[in-house]
Structure 1
Amino acid sequence: MQGEGQIENDFGPSTGGTTQNGGQSPMIDGTTRPYNEVYGEYAAEAKRTLGRTQLPASMQDKVKQYFDQIQPD
């Protein structure tokens, strides 16, 4: 896509800084689970979280609508 405006480049050095290593990832290399299997877990956790938080009703409705829209057939 062609954009508009002036192109700016940062010609500063690309080295430096520090690297931080985090903890262990919950992801297991080489494994996948079917979408329809994990959807139920994610939707249930979202519902539990909505019950504990003080989100405005309109935001709670948005979360519910989101999970309704991505629900597997």
Structure 2
Amino acid sequence: AVEAEATAAIATAAEEMAMAEIVVAAATATEITIIRAAAVATVATVTEMLVAMCRCRQRQCQQQK
């Protein structure tokens, strides 16, 4: 269930990135590169947070058993 949540969150982030790219399609190549780099960093951070949350939940579940 946790993996499904993480996958859904990543899919949402990917969709938002795609929409952001459409919005900035008129921007210069340099601007797009900067925005893409920022977007990739954001998704990486979100993924790391989700992984940390999953690990935390797994630990809590194991402690409750």
Alignment TM class, shorter chain as reference = 0.3 to 0.5
Structure whose residues are more often helix by fraction: 2
> What is the TM-score of this pair, normalised by structure 2?
0.44
Q: TM-score if structure 1 supplies the norm length?
A: 0.40
